[in-house]
């Protein structure tokens, strides 16, 4: 059985796969990858749509909070990775061993399943967002495709007349399926690295280039944004910032799976308490930590860049991206400072940002969904090949489900809000579970330093505190928002 197929079974720890950890930083850098995939998932609708909108509404005032949010949650991510590597258990498998398990899987495993169904709505919003992007970029081609489809399916004519981007959204989902259906970890890592690096560089250059436009970023603006202040009128916005930036609940569930599929736990081998096992575990955990912190730098740069673009360009013009004009308004971040020629560049970049999150989240959800079915004994999985076939089916299912959500609810911002509430409700749960793993499950020889523990507690307390305020408010806002569109 090939290593690529074996990777689909997160519980497999064959002794022949045991490897010594890299001895130098250069060698360790060649072994990173899960964090880059995670960065690709993180920098999506939240950063492009919600973070930019926040900058458009409030200016630079929340810059410090975005930086804090991006950094502090990584300590939760690292501890989940630590336990996964040392135990060989992915997120759902580890949660299933918590006290309180029912006749089938643990109730928190079922909670994840419900959250996942809601977050697929976010993917529907991304598919619709890409559809809007491509329709704005190629309106004449949209008309040609709509005419051809209407000729073959007369019932689709009315739908495409009202929502011409729908055909692009479908093409987007089918493209995502084609990329992940037969693709294992290596293809996903390679493709994501290319897109993430390209988008990050382009976004950074756009921010730097603002200094030669009518919307320069002044040092005093950045200094004001780094002051620890929360305006009285922006308290709920501050809580929302913490919830939408950095590592979210879905990414915390995803990360251990990508670490295991990369091979970290297989390289460590089964925990046998020997000195050699402890040495391997510590070495590969250090590689995972390097991976997590490099990814943090990447997604923090992108998040801050989008926020600064919103604060520097959209805020002075009183432009607020929302509704069906969402993408068109966001494009003014580039058109206003740099000229009309950059509109196409933005549309391509925005489409890439949303699309990569769509296919990465679909790929990750497919792996967790198979684990969910196996843990509940809804299906039997005899070996890694069985899991691979099930994962492939879900890789086709989730993009199509996302498209269905979009066609039913049609508003990208609404879909993102629903998924955001589900994530905000789940984030404190997975954070508290992480504390349980840290103090009750991780081998004593592999436990983190005192300073790491302190920062982990700060992260967990911050997450729980913010969720207590954000979730009820978001639910109320969602109800009001839905009343305005239905």
- For each of the chain's 486 residues, which pLDDT tens digit applies? 456 666 677 778 888 889 999 999 999 999 999 999 998 888 765 666 678 878 888 889 889 988 998 999 999 999 999 999 999 999 999 999 999 887 889 999 999 999 999 989 888 888 888 888 888 878 888 888 777 777 777 666 667 777 788 888 899 999 999 989 886 788 888 888 888 888 888 888 888 888 888 788 888 989 988 988 877 666 677 777 777 778 889 999 999 999 999 999 999 999 888 999 999 999 999 999 999 999 999 999 988 988 888 888 888 887 776 655 666 677 766 766 677 677 777 777 777 878 888 999 999 999 999 999 999 989 877 678 888 899 999 999 999 999 999 888 877 667 777 887 888 889 999 999 999 999 999 988 899 999 999 999 999 999 998 888 878 877 777 777 666 756
Q: Is 199 in contact with 43 (CB distance < 8 Å)?
A: yes
Please give the DSSP secondary-structure letter assigned to residue 59. T
DSSP H or E stretch at residue 7: none
Whole-prediction pTM value?
0.90
Q: Is 169 in contact with 127 (CB distance < 8 Å)?
A: yes
CA distance between the termini of the chain: 53
**CA–CA dist 366, 370 (Å, integer):** 6
What is the SS3 assignment for 355?
helix
- The number of residues in the chain equals 486
Q: Is the dihedral of CA 292, 198, 193, 313 positive or negative?
A: positive
**CA–CA dist 109, 57 (Å, integer):** 37
List, in order, residues 6 or more apart from 7 with CB less than 8 Å away.
184, 185, 260, 261, 262, 263, 384
**CA–CA dist 329, 366 (Å, integer):** 33
Closest CA to 420 of 124, 119, 116, 111: 119
């Amino acid at each position: 059985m090939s290593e690529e197929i074996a990777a689909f079974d997160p519980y497999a720890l064959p002794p022949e796969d045991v490897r010594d950890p890299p001895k130098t930083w250069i060698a360790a850098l060649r072994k990173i990858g899960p964090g880059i995939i995670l960065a690709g998932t993180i920098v999506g609708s939240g950063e492009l749509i919600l973070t930019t909108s926040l900058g458009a509404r409030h200016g630079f005032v929340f810059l410090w909070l975005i930086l804090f949010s991006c950094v502090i949650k990584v300590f939760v991510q690292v501890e989940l990775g630590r336990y996964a590597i040392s135990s060989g258990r992915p997120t759902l498998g580890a949660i299933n061993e918590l006290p309180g398990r029912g006749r089938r899987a643990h109730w928190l495993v079922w909670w994840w399943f419900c959250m996942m169904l809601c977050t697929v709505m976010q993917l529907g919003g991304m598919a619709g967002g890409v559809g809007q992007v491509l329709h704005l970029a190629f309106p004449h081609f949209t008309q040609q495709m709509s005419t051809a489809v209407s000729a073959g399916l007369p019932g689709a004519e009315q739908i495409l007349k009202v929502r011409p981007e729908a055909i692009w959204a479908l093409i987007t989902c089918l493209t995502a399926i084609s990329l992940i259906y037969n693709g294992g970890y290596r293809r996903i890592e390679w493709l994501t690295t290319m897109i993430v690096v390209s988008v990050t560089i382009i976004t950074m250059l756009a921010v730097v280039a603002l200094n030669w436009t009518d919307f320069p970023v002044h040092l005093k603006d950045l200094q004001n944004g780094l002051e620890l202040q929360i305006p009285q009128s922006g308290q709920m916005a501050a809580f929302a910032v913490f919830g939408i930036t950095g590592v979210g609940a879905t990414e915390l569930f995803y990360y251990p799976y990508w670490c295991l599929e990369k091979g970290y736990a297989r390289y460590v081998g089964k925990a046998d308490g020997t000195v050699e096992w402890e040495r391997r575990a510590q070495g590969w955990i250090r590689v995972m930590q390097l991976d997590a912190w490099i990814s943090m730098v990447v997604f923090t740069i992108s998040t801050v860049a989008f926020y600064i673009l919103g604060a520097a360009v959209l805020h002075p013009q009183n432009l607020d991206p929302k509704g069906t004009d969402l993408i068109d308004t966001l494009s003014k971040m580039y058109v206003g400072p740099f000229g009309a020629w950059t509109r196409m560049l933005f549309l391509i970049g925005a489409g890439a940002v949303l699309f990569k999150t769509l296919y990465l989240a679909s790929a990750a959800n497919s792996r967790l969904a198979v684990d969910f079915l196996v843990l509940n004994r809804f299906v039997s999985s005899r070996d890694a090949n069985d899991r691979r076939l099930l994962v492939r089916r879900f890789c086709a299912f989730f993009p199509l489900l996302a498209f269905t959500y979009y066609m039913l609810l049609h508003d990208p911002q609404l879909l993102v809000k629903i998924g955001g509430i589900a994530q905000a409700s789940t984030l404190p749960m997975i954070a508290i579970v992480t504390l349980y793993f840290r103090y009750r499950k991780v081998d004593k020889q592999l436990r983190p330093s005192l300073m790491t523990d302190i920062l982990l507690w700060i992260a967990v307390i911050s997450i729980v505190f913010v969720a207590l305020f954000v979730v009820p408010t978001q639910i109320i806002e969602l109800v009001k928002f839905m009343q305005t569109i239905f």
